[in-house]
Amino acid sequence: MSKRTLGVVFFPAFDWAISPTHPEREERLLYTQDQLREEGLFDLPGITEYKPGVATYEDIERVHFCLPDVGRVCSASHLASAGGAIRAGELVLSGERERAFALVRPPGHHAMRVTHGNRGFCNVNMEAVMIENLRRRFGPLRVAIVDTDCHHGDGTQDIYWNDPDTLFISMHQDGRTLYPGTGFLPECGGPGALGRTVNIPLPPGTGDEGYLYVTKNVVLPLLEAFKPDLVINSAGQDNHYTDPLTNMQLSAHGYAAMNALLNPHIAVLEGGYSIRGALPYVNLGICLALAGLPFEHVHEPDHDAKALKQRPQVTEYISRLCDDVLNQYHNPPSRPSEGHRDGEWWRRERDIYYDTDGLSEHQNEGIRLCPDCPGLTCIETSSDRVDKSLCLLLPRNACPHCRDLAHRLVETTGKKSGRYAHVLCIGGQ
């Protein structure tokens, strides 16, 4: 009998792949499916497999500005993957299960607030779609997202950059050595949520010892300080020592031990491209840890603890890094690291490349520096596919002034004016 009831939502997306030989293809989860069933996981009382739901366009539009529209950005597989994450969230928030793991693909943590296509194998952000669906249905939730994917979760960071009710922690391989080249300490949140973004850029060669040290000495104290209602693990597995795209040394046992420490309410699969050597073992370890079951026997056939021992220089670097991260969290800067003040607005300009689709996007973003709420966000965006468009984001509990300003902008800058190809508004998530 499992210590905690666990729901495993499974969706391998049989009909979606970037290409037949691309690392992000359906085999990513088929070996995991075989492993979990061969180990008899679903024969254990308290552990149940579930099918995903299907996210609606409204679910996607609660989070994303999809340009030119949702149908051009999302396939049916993306809606099912997001629906799988929503199903996992429903299992926990409804009380049907104590923990849930969404073993779904395609992944999503590189999908930003504005999305014109696929970047980093991601079109829409599964965790964010789940979170905002749960907030709509179950009321205000204080949420912590701990992203353990080897790549920086730049999409999730962008979506929650100015949200004081969401703590985003990303522990990833240093962006100086890996895509997307972001996720440094100074990136700590927008003007209305300084300190709510926490980046922990780890050096190549970080193994079980380093990940567990960071979890114990940084992540858990931050969660204790923030006191979230809900903890979500973006459970990317590409920091495994056999992953072909990265340079880390985490093992399946290390993953399970890290998850046992985090004890998240919900885990959502992100990256991980060692299809046979890592994912079946890592996913089994995570399931056991979530269910509160022993996982000491979970080891890869080629696991060599001596060969994977973390170098002393890496250990020393991580110790200093953790001190810096904690100091910044408790003493955040007075202004964001990106952009500048322009009257009552905070502005930043960005060029974003969609590596999978080969698209270039240009953004001009302004966040109103509001004394009564996190502030209205106005984004002018254009790409190789879409002419200049205006995206307006009202925060939850937006003040009357920001709401009135958003409504005026929708009325005065609509398509009839000829100024923008599209005018979109997300009104107070």
DSSP string, 102-160: EEESS--TT--SEESS-BTTBSS-HHHHHHHHHHHHH----EEEEE-SSS--HHHHHHT
Q: Which two tokens stand for residue 295?
A: 């996982």
Please, are residues 46 and 291 in contact by the beta-carbon 8 Å criterion? yes
64, 78, 110, 240: which one is catalytic? 110
Please, are residues 414 and 423 in contact by the beta-carbon 8 Å criterion? yes
* CA pair distance 62, 393, nearest whole angstrom: 10
Amino acid occupying residue 402: C
Go through the chain and tell me how many residues it has.
429
- Does the active-site annotation cover 362? no
- Sheet harboring 47-50: ordered strands across? 47-50, 6-11, 99-104, 266-269, 230-235, 143-147, 166-173, 197-202
Q: Which two tokens stand for residue 66?
A: 């999809």
CA 36 to chain centre: 24
Active site residues: 110
